[in-house]
């Protein structure tokens, strides 16, 4: 389980896919959730350029000009679920390129949509094996919650010794495997 995540190892390639997003804060997560992360970052990158308006027409276009800064603060597994902590900040732009709606109102709507998408990805991660990417469920392995497929769970159980050490009220360690 000491494997480093491919997305973190290949950060230059990862950044090349979404050059306008600042992606950092990876903690050790397995590769099974890479598809969920890629979908999330595709969604954010799309939102970032979605509302740019052509000056000479009443139509929208997406020229790749971001309308906000986006950065991940932390990406980790917690209690068997994927957690992505992020920040979105408005940037100074030419105000003429936006539609009638105010810029900050749009940013607020975008934040709500990204928050909803991030929550959905987090919930979905509880059904996706964090190692293989197959269908999984939440499992408790010696107090550590993970989302695992049956196959990955069985592999880990074969390699893991049960936790038999308890602490007594006096603070001394007691090994219950001798009992």
Q: Over the stretch 112-142, which tens digit does the pLDDT of each residue have?
A: 999 999 999 999 999 999 999 999 999 988 8
Q: Which whole number is the average pLDDT over 12-24?
A: 66
Phi, psi (degrees; rounded to nearest 5) at 41: -70, -30
Q: Is the pLDDT of residue 4 over 80?
A: no
Whole-structure pTM value:
0.72
Phi, psi (degrees; rounded to nearest 5) at 88: -125, 130
Are the beta carbons of 75 and 26 closer than 8 angstroms? yes
Q: Is the pLDDT of residue 49 over 60?
A: yes
Structure tokens at 150: 């049956």
Q: What pLDDT was estimated at residue 68?
A: 83
Domain boundaries, the chain: 6-125, 137-178
Beta-bridge mates of residue 165: 175
Q: Is the pLDDT of residue 98 over 70?
A: no
Per-residue model confidence as pLDDT tens digits over 140-149: 888 889 999 9
CA separation for the pair 171, 70 (Å, rounded): 47
Q: What pLDDT was estimated at residue 9?
A: 52
Q: What's the Cα-to-Cα distance from 38 to each of 77, 103, 144, 169, 176, rounded to whole Å? A: 16, 27, 26, 48, 45
Q: What pLDDT was estimated at residue 153?
A: 93
Percent of the chain surpassing pLDDT 70: 64
CA separation for the pair 96, 14 (Å, rounded): 33
């Amino acid at each position: 389980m000491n494997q480093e995540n491919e997305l973190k190892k290949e950060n230059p390639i990862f950044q090349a896919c979404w050059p306008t997003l600042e992606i950092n804060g990876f903690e050790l997560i397995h590769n099974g959730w890479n598809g969920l992360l890629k979908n999330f970052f595709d969604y954010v990158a799309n939102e970032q350029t979605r509302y740019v308006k052509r000056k000479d027409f009443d139509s929208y276009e997406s020229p790749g000009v971001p309308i906000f800064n986006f950065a991940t603060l932390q990406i980790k597994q917690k209690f068997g679920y994927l957690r992505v902590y992020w920040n979105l900040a408005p940037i100074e732009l030419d105000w003429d390129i936006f539609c009638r709606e105010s810029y900050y109102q749009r940013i607020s709507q975008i934040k709500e949509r990204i928050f909803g998408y991030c929550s959905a990805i987090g919930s979905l991660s509880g059904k996706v094996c964090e190692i293989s990417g197959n269908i999984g469920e939440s499992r408790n392995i010696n107090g550590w919650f993970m989302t695992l497929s049956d196959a990955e769970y069985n592999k880990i159980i074969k390699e893991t010794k049960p936790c038999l050490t308890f602490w007594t009220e006096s603070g001394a360690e007691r090994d219950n495997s001798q009992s």
